[in-house]
Structure 1
């Protein structure tokens, strides 16, 4: 009897041990296989996220929605497979083509993926696979972008620079969606010309027309930067509001120097001698010279007729006809000096002191030079107050050399325009709460492509 009872007890112990082993293996398998499933899930999430981001960028490529959809889906596939390769942890991923939905100026990209992960120790509990899934959505906002290009004479000092400016300006345009994004192309030197305006209601831009205009750029004249930014802001505000404006509005400003010229209606000794608005310019030197002018503010490099054009005698009191003072307000587009259109003061105590005194060479040179810089910064600040991002690209070493009436560093003006964190303290304080843009400095023409790519990437990140 004892032997039989002992044998029976031994059998029960073996059964309990065996059952315990199954449970233990199952628990251990659950821990191990769940960990593998968690790793696969995290990897799948990252792969789907990267895929929709890549698709949102690639959807800018193509002239039709069908081409844009195909490019977006191909980019999504490439990024998904790079981030979740086949047989990762023995799994079998499935990634259907994302859906691409166009709605007005916005594109919504939805993607999802699944993966079947084989289990190891959980097999003892009759589990064969773990199924993991992930999904993501990217919404690319609509975009209105005013592209302002400096075509002053300093760009052509080195003959190898203009071809690289043309090439990289055209490449920059390819980063954006030809049917969804609006782009305006603006060229400036002594004056500014809108080569390709926005469509005020419809979307899209004509890249072939812009390429033709960029190929025709002639580089000559001085730097009336404010006129270029005035035209950019005017283009942005001319889009019929509020329903037709894009949710993201941007100015991209490209220059190789600090501003030294500005346009307005000026007061002559004999008012009838000149009744046209025009550009008054200084050089970039740090010693006084007589300002020169007037040139057309709506043309790139063209003199106004006499007596509006008198070159360096335009403010010289020894001349029989001369400018007696600077205007109180920038009024190049306000011939009647209507108070409602007086947005940007010429005569001001900040950030640089400007009076309307042109009685001496030093006073005339200093006031024109300072006003040129003040107006540019004020127009950029007003644009930012209106929710516009300002991105700036500076070319060349001249931007790092003290110039002008106050021996200023040109790139400080460009940083101030963009409201960057490393701008002068007065600019950052003035720009508190405003959109923060980006400044990129290309040391030479070989740095243009990286800088344009950097600006385009930053803009496209904001669109998502």
Structure 2
């Protein structure tokens, strides 16, 4: 019995020695894993904050009427979003700092960069002399300048939606950057109006907020009336972008409407014989009259099918956003056979 008891005491002594030796290895490993986990959490949070700041900064480059104020706005917004997403003292981190730079990184492209650093604590590694670790993160976001033509439907069917459309269009335009983005405005009912810039020798303008009247004011003044001549409006918008001659740029046409077009717009009495849409046998007295352009809606439609009725041919008077003046429908007394029936129209329209 004594021999067996002595043997057990020796085993216990060896176990204590082995446990003590193992603890010298295991505890540092456990401490390392805990500190590494904390460092990873701080790094992930710091990276997310830097990304959030860069994205918010790029989105706010539209605020301000000049490049300096836009850059100031982007820096302030980027720092505000960074600080909100990485609060001081997160997981014991300290010395939080971030810097924001804005540079032109490509043609008509600005990039917001957020460089962030923070000092992360070392809970267990401090026992080995590693008191703290500096963690870094970089977030970048780019904003490409836009060439935009906004096309607004102001036809009669929009009467119940004009207020909502004006409000939405004004908010939309405010998202773009004065001096960088270029914006044009076309409103249309039966006929289209180039509202801004007007005149437009070079297409959409970068000064759509500071001009007088500016796009926001013109949208607010837009009234509704007339039919829906969509094709002419979209064609005019395309021609505005063609004037800029920037094939590789971000060229956009944004179209606000409530439904299908119900007429086809055409210039009927172009002075060039090959482009005049009226028959030479037509008795319409405006057929070859210079400086008296005419527009017409060849047929009203329902579900893409002609109904048999027409609005008729109108003298093309200039309209504005605040008035719908598409002229008076011509009558048979003008020598024009078309008036209210598409069969009559065939006597005049080629």
- For 1:189, the equivalent position in structure 2 comes to 189
Q: Distance in 2 between matches of 1:225 and 1:25?
A: 75
User: Structure 1 residues 142, 289: closer, same or farther in 2, change over 3 A?
Assistant: same
3-state SS of 1:59 partner: helix
- For 1:132, the equivalent position in structure 2 comes to 135
Q: Of residues 70, 73, 80 in structure 2, which corresponds to 1:71? A: 73
- For 1:111, the equivalent position in structure 2 comes to 114
Alignment map for 1:418-457 (pairs within 5 Å): none
Q: Distance in 1 between matches of 2:165 and 2:130?
A: 63
Q: Of residues 327, 334, 341 in structure 2, which corresponds to 1:303? A: 327
Q: How far is the alpha carbon of 1:233 from its aligned partner?
A: 0.9
Corresponding position: 1:164 with 2:189: no
User: Structure 1 residues 123, 67: closer, same or farther in 2, change over 3 A?
Assistant: same
- For 2:151, the equivalent position in structure 1 comes to 148
Unaligned runs of 5+ in 2: 1-12, 269-276
Q: Distance in 2 between matches of 1:232 and 1:24?
A: 72
3-state SS of 2:253 partner: strand
3-state SS of 1:66 partner: helix
- For 1:313, the equivalent position in structure 2 comes to 340
Alignment map for 1:205-216 (pairs within 5 Å): 205-207=207-209, 208-216=213-221
Alignment map for 1:53-68 (pairs within 5 Å): 53-68=55-70
Alignment map for 1:17-28 (pairs within 5 Å): 21-28=23-30
Corresponding position: 1:288 with 2:307: yes
3-state SS of 1:268 partner: coil
Q: How far is the alpha carbon of 1:202 from its aligned partner?
A: 9.2
Q: How far is the alpha carbon of 1:22 from its aligned partner?
A: 4.2
Partners of 2:317 and 2:327 within 8 A in 1: no
Q: Distance in 2 between matches of 1:219 and 1:304?
A: 17
3-state SS of 1:190 partner: coil
User: Structure 1 residues 34, 217: closer, same or farther in 2, change over 3 A?
Assistant: same
Q: How far is the alpha carbon of 1:301 from its aligned partner?
A: 4.1
Corresponding position: 1:278 with 2:295: yes
Q: Distance in 1 between matches of 2:225 and 2:219?
A: 14
Paired residues in the alignment total 305
Q: How far is the alpha carbon of 1:189 from its aligned partner?
A: 0.8
User: Structure 1 residues 84, 309: closer, same or farther in 2, change over 3 A?
Assistant: farther
Q: Distance in 2 between matches of 1:253 and 1:279?
A: 22
- For 1:260, the equivalent position in structure 2 comes to 262
Q: Distance in 2 between matches of 1:304 and 1:132?
A: 74
Instruction: Report the TM-score, using the length of structure 2 for normalisation.
Output: 0.77
Q: Of residues 222, 226, 232 in structure 1, which corresponds to 2:231? A: 226
Q: Distance in 2 between matches of 1:259 and 1:201?
A: 25
- For 1:99, the equivalent position in structure 2 comes to 101
Corresponding position: 1:323 with 2:318: no
Question: C-alpha deviations, 1:87-112, integer Å up to 9, x for none?
Answer: 11111253334112247632121111
Q: How far is the alpha carbon of 1:316 from its aligned partner?
A: 3.6
Q: Distance in 2 between matches of 1:284 and 1:140?
A: 43
Q: How far is the alpha carbon of 1:35 from its aligned partner?
A: 1.3
Q: Distance in 2 between matches of 1:173 and 1:43?
A: 34
User: Structure 1 residues 26, 38: closer, same or farther in 2, change over 3 A?
Assistant: same
Q: How far is the alpha carbon of 1:43 from its aligned partner?
A: 1.4
Partners of 2:148 and 2:204 within 8 A in 1: no
Q: How far is the alpha carbon of 1:257 from its aligned partner?
A: 1.7
Partners of 2:283 and 2:336 within 8 A in 1: no
Partners of 1:56 and 1:138 within 8 A in 2: yes
Q: Distance in 2 between matches of 1:136 and 1:322?
A: 68
3-state SS of 1:95 partner: strand
- For 1:30, the equivalent position in structure 2 comes to 32
Q: Distance in 1 between matches of 2:237 and 2:256?
A: 12
Instruction: Report the TM-score, using the length of structure 1 for normalisation.
Output: 0.59
CA RMSD of aligned residues (A): 3.0
Partners of 1:47 and 1:80 within 8 A in 2: yes
User: Structure 1 residues 100, 126: closer, same or farther in 2, change over 3 A?
Assistant: same
Large movers: runs of 4+ above 6 Å: 16-19, 308-311
